[in-house]
Amino acid sequence: MVPHFPGANPPERGSIKRDDSTGTPTTPHPRSRTRPQGRQTVVAACCLVLSLSAGVLAAVPAAQADPPDPAAKKKQLDAELGKSKTELAEASDQLGKSVASYNQAQVRFEAVQVRYAAAQGRLAAAKAADVVAASKLAAAERALRGAVADVEEGERQIAEKRALAGRAVRSAYQQQNSLVGLSIALRGASPADVATGIQVQRNVFGIQSNALANLNNAQAQLASKRVKVAAAEKAAAAARAESAKTVKQVTELTKQVAADKAEADAIRIEKLTLYKRAEREKNSEQAQYNALLAERNRVEQLLIARARAEKAAAERRKAAREKAEREKARREGRPPRQIPDDPDDGGGRLSRPVDTYITSPFGMRFHPILHYWKLHDGTDFGAGCGTPIRAAASGRVTDRYYNGGYGNRIFISHGVIGGHSVTSVYNHLSRYKARVGERVTRGEIIGYVGTTGYSTGCHLHFMVYQDGRVVNPMKWL
C-alpha cells in the first residue's frame, strides 16, 4: 500500500496541505442547510430583470375600463417564486437567499405595478365621473336659479294682479247697489242717459270678472313654478351629493396612486441593492465552483500518478508471491497454485461511511444561476453534525487538509481492489479522528460529519477515485 500524495509523508505535507493556487479561503465557513438535488430551472438570471424597473410606471395607461386583478397577479407571481426557490437548492445557501430575496422584491414590484395601473384606471374613471357630475350640478343649479327667478316674477305679477283686482272689486262694490238705477230715473234722465248708465255698470262688472280670472291664472302658474323649484332643488341636492362623492373618490385615488408610485420607487431601489448583492454572490459562486474544479483536477492528476505506482507495486508484490509459490511447488513436487491480487476484507466492495439516507446522488447538475451543467462529484449522505464517519474499507490515511470548497477532507487509500486502485474521500468534516499515515480498518471511526467549506448544511460528501478518476461511489457500495 502506498500513499496517494507525496505530501502524505510528514516532511512533504507542506506542498499539498491546501490548494492555495485557486484562491480558496484558508478557514472553514459553515452554511445552514443540507442541499437537496436541483433540477433545471427557468429562474431569470439576476441581471436580466432590472430593465423592468426603468420607466415602467410612465408606460401605464391613464385609464383602463377593466384593470387587472392585483390579487390574482400576486398569486401567480408567488407560485412562480415558490418554484424558483425550490430550483435554487443546487446553488449555495447565501446565493440562494440573495436570489430569492431579489425574486421576492421583483414579485412585490410587479404586484405594486398592477395595483398602480388599476388605481390609475380607477382614478381616470373617477375624474371622468367627476366631470360629468360637475356638469350635472352646474345644469341643475342653472335650472334652479331659473325656476326661482320664474317664481319671483310670478309673485310680482300676482301682486300686481291682486292690486288691480282689489281696485275693481272696490269700484264694483261702490257702484253695485239698488239705488243706482233709481237715481238715474229720479234725476229725470232721458232714456239715452239711462241706457248709458246701464252700460257703465256692465263694464264695471266685466272688469271685476277679468281681474279675478287673471289673478287665479297667475296663482296657478305660480304654484306650478314652485313645484318646478322644489324639483330643481332636489335635483341640485342630488347633483351636489354625486359631485361630492366623485371629488372624494378622486382625492382618495390620487393619494393611492401616489402611495403606489412611492412604494414602487422604494422597491425599485431595494431591487437594485439586492441585484448588486446577488451579483456579488453569483461571482462568489463562480469562483467557488472554479476552485472546486481546480481542486478536483489537481487531486485527479496526483491520484492518477499514484494509482499507476500503486498498481505497479501491487503487480510486483504479486509477481514476488507467484515466484515464491512456484519455488514452493517445485520443492513439494506439485503444480503451483493461482496467486490472487492483494487481499481485501470486503469482497471487493466498500461499506457505507454513515448509515443514513442519500440526499443528493452523483451526477450532472444544471446550475440555476450560472446556467451551465456541472458534475456533482460524490454522493451526499444526510446526517447531523457530529455523526461518526467510518472507513468504507481497510486502508491507510494518505492525507487530510482543509479546502475552501470541500472543507475538511480525509483520504483513505484501499490499495488495488479487483484490478483497480481505489481511494475514498470524506468531505465537510467537523473534525478528524484518524491521522495521516495511520492504518485503519473497515468500520473504524475516522472523523465526524460537519458543514465546513462550500456546504449548505450538515452532511457527508463521499467520493471515490478509481485509478485516479472520480467515479460514482454507488458503483463500489
Give the residue among 53, 38, 30 at the shortest CA–CA distance from 275: 53
CATH code of domain 358-475: 2.70.70.10
Q: Which residues of 8-41 are buried (b: 16+ CB within 10 A; e: fewer)?
A: beeeebeebeebeebebeeebebbeebbeebeeb
Residues of the chain with pLDDT under 70: 1-96, 165, 168-208, 211, 341-347
- What the block records as the C-alpha cell of 441 is 480498518
- What the block records as the C-alpha cell of 49 is 430583470
Predicted pLDDT at 342:
64
363 Rama class: left (phi>0) / alpha (psi -120 to 50) / beta: left
Partners of 358 in the β-ladder? 381
Topology alike, domains 73-332 and 358-475: no
Topology adopted by domain 73-332: Helix Hairpins (1.10.287)
* Residues 298-351: tens digit of each pLDDT: 999 999 998 898 888 888 988 999 999 999 999 999 999 988 766 555 567 899
CA dist 401 and 73 (Å) reads 51
- Return the SS3 of 300: helix
Predicted pLDDT at 42:
33
- What the block records as the C-alpha cell of 233 is 332643488
Q: What is the pTM of this model?
A: 0.51
Please state the domain extents for the chain.
73-332, 358-475
CB 341 within 8 A of CB 443: no
